[in-house]
Structure 1
């Protein structure tokens, strides 16, 4: 179902999925980067709070111890009681400062080794303060400078060296811990960089692959559609789009296939109709040829009839002329007949009847002439129509 489900999504949905995938990759890269930077910041903050700051307190303790040691020796060397009291006041202030710095250092996160060194420091420093106050300063204040110096450099001095060694060990462990924390931060930075690079590279590859897949899913059917349209333009209506997705491209492919099928069916119907029209035209041409032949035959018959009518008309005209001549002779003979009296009355009456008959014959001839003229017109029209039918056929 997986790829089919994606193929059937709308183009906008596909693009949104692609962009959202890229966005998710970028968010993952950003979150990993932020988390790593937070861890690195936490590491450096831890180095600062748990390693570097305690080292500064140890440095203050070490400085206070040295100043206390110097004040004790100056007290032993001093001869003026006022100066000795001044050094005693300084020693008291320095003791308080050292105790304060030690208490602050003790609040830091300490390893077992550091706790053991701190315990040794407290023990040695306490013994140093007891010997310093109970022996060295008392002997110095009593004017026993040589005994005070011997005590300061002897057992009391050894307690100071023990406390100083403990502070040095704390320094060493804290510096090593700080170096290890910094190295851990560097390693974490490298690991974070590698992880971020791998995620970013995977995101880029995934984005490119998804973009190529979506572009191919859209562009391939469009290319096929262009080929099909080109084939249709060239007159090939057998091509079809092989796209089965349910997105806009698939709907377009189905519509295009339906349109091509409709055009192919319409052209087939047009071909059948053209064949029918061709057959009808052939039949019409045959009928026109037959009609033209019949018209030509009818025109020939009409021409023959017209010729016969013309001959009849000529004969009738000749008879009319003869009748007119007879009429003229009758008119000329009427005077003679009148002179001949009643003898020729019958002849005159006969001639009158002949004259009437001649007029009737003349009317008949006129009618025949009109019929002949109309017959000629009909023959001419028939010949013209026959010629037109022949040209159109």
Structure 2
């Protein structure tokens, strides 16, 4: 059953089954608890509480009837009115209790009895109120007569209905209890049966699961022990590709691969030995070419050293030129600043000249007005006759001075105008000089920037040449190491040849189906005593006949020089 199912699926199936059983049993228990809780809530809210309300209501009705009897038998209107007030309070209490009772859940039978009670209570109140009216009016005989013939009969009917309602609450509560007991017995029986079936099912599935896992594992252990002892002739039957059958399938694949591997190792050992001999021959040629390459690298290294000196000298010259260009740039900037100041000064002089022209114009106007005033004064003096002669003389003098001032002002104005024109021309020339100076500063900055770039490029070239020189030196060193490694590889190839023969002897331990004739072991013709002494080089290790396996040799050689080269 479980042979074609994965172990994961089997465990998930068992876990899922247990979960379903637990959830089912738990859900059944919760259902029973919920049902019991509903029954208890129904008994309390819909039966116990209404029973209390109905009992209080019955007590109120009886007390109301008692007060009616007392009011009719007292034959005292004042005392009867007190009873009537008490009856009114009891009516309010009865109404409130009845309203509370009507909010509960009513069965169809309860609804019929409740409707009967409402009608009967209304009829009883009508008859009772008629009796109370007789009492208030003092007609006590009519009140007693009405009470005996009508009101008490209606009260009896009302009391019967109310008692039936109270009895019905107890009956329904007993039914709820009986139903709860029945539900408990059903749930207990179902839970017991489900638990028993679940335990039996789990035991059965557990037995099948254990058998489906343990049997293939025991078989796999036996196969692994057989392979460990070198016996590859075991026949592995795989009846399933799921669950523990995957383990047998993997063991079968491992056994087949081991058989193929042993066959290939036996067949390829001679090829490895031949390849080792070819490696020795190839390494001899490689050693010769490496020596030639080392000689060429030495010449290249000398040339690169001379080139490095030349580039460094160019870099120093470029650095000095850059410093001179930076000094020239600073001088040009200072000249530009001085020209800007001259431009500002010439502008100020031009503004001052214009202001002088304005002042001379004002003076000329004042002289002209003074001349006119002196002329007017002379005319007035002439009109005055002899009395104005002195004033006329003064006016003539003032006029003469005004004319001279006007003439002088005109001459000064002409001179100032000429000066202003020359200042404006000078200002334009200075502006042009400032523009030219800005162009010079810009050009010097560009030259400085170019020299800086040349200096940077020279430094980079010098650094690059140094790196190239270091690389050439490193290549020279690596080439020397490669020459040493070629000797090591030759020795390693001979060691690999011997180790291949040792490997062949090792795989002969495995027993294959059909068997295989042992392959003759070819030993190296090289005498152990004639072996070359161990060769030491930078980053290499001593290699002897009993040295590390070829894989380690290849790894160490790659780390010391081959990959770098």
TM-score range, shorter chain: 0.5 to 0.7
The corresponding residue for 2:245 is 250
Q: Classify 1:144/1:222 alpha carbon distance in 2 versus 1 (closer, same or farther; 3 Å).
A: same
Q: How does 1:166-315 map to 2 (within 5 A)?
A: 166-226=161-221, 240=235, 242-247=237-242, 249-257=244-252, 266-267=510-511, 273=517
Alpha-carbon deviation of 1:219?
1.2
Q: 2:244 is paired with a residue of what secondary structure?
A: helix
Q: How does 1:50-89 map to 2 (within 5 A)?
A: 50-78=46-74, 80-89=76-85
Alpha-carbon deviation of 1:156?
0.9
The corresponding residue for 1:307 is none
Which of 90, 94, 114 is the equivalent residue of 1:94? 90
Q: Distance in 2 between matches of 1:165 and 1:78?
A: 28
Q: Distance in 2 between matches of 1:269 and 1:21?
A: 47
Structure 1 contact 51–178 (Cα < 8 Å) conserved? yes
TM-score normalised by L of structure 2: 0.42
Give CA deviations for 1:94-125 in whole Å, capped at 9, x if unaligned.
11221232233334333343333223222222
The corresponding residue for 1:118 is 114
Give CA deviations for 1:225-280 in whole Å, capped at 9, x if unaligned.
44566788999987655542223522322344566776899425796648x99xxx
Alpha-carbon deviation of 1:187?
1.5
Alpha-carbon deviation of 1:77?
3.5
Q: How many residues align?
A: 271
Question: Which 5+ residue runs of structure 2 have no aligned equivalent?
Answer: 264-509, 521-565
Structure 2 contact 43–176 (Cα < 8 Å) conserved? yes
Q: How does 1:375-386 map to 2 (within 5 A)?
A: none
The corresponding residue for 2:36 is 40
Q: Distance in 1 between matches of 2:244 and 2:37?
A: 52
Alpha-carbon deviation of 1:165?
0.4
The corresponding residue for 1:24 is 20
Structure 1 contact 43–181 (Cα < 8 Å) conserved? yes
Structure 1 contact 224–241 (Cα < 8 Å) conserved? no
> Hey, which of these two has a bigger chunk of helix by percent?
1
Structure 1 contact 76–149 (Cα < 8 Å) conserved? yes
Q: Classify 1:251/1:200 alpha carbon distance in 2 versus 1 (closer, same or farther; 3 Å).
A: same
The corresponding residue for 2:101 is 105
Structure 1 contact 221–243 (Cα < 8 Å) conserved? no
Structure 1 contact 64–97 (Cα < 8 Å) conserved? yes
Give CA deviations for 1:283-304 in whole Å, capped at 9, x if unaligned.
xxxxxxxxxxxxxxxxxxxxxx
Give CA deviations for 1:139-182 in whole Å, capped at 9, x if unaligned.
43455555544443432111101001011112222321221122
Which one has the largest radius of gyration?
1
The corresponding residue for 1:138 is 133
Q: Which moved more, 1:151-160 or 1:64-73?
A: 151-160
Query: Over aligned residue pairs, what C-alpha RMSD do you find?
Result: 3.4
Alpha-carbon deviation of 1:37?
2.4
Give CA deviations for 1:316-341 in whole Å, capped at 9, x if unaligned.
xxxxxxxxxxxxxxxxxxxxxxxxxx
Structure 1 contact 225–241 (Cα < 8 Å) conserved? no
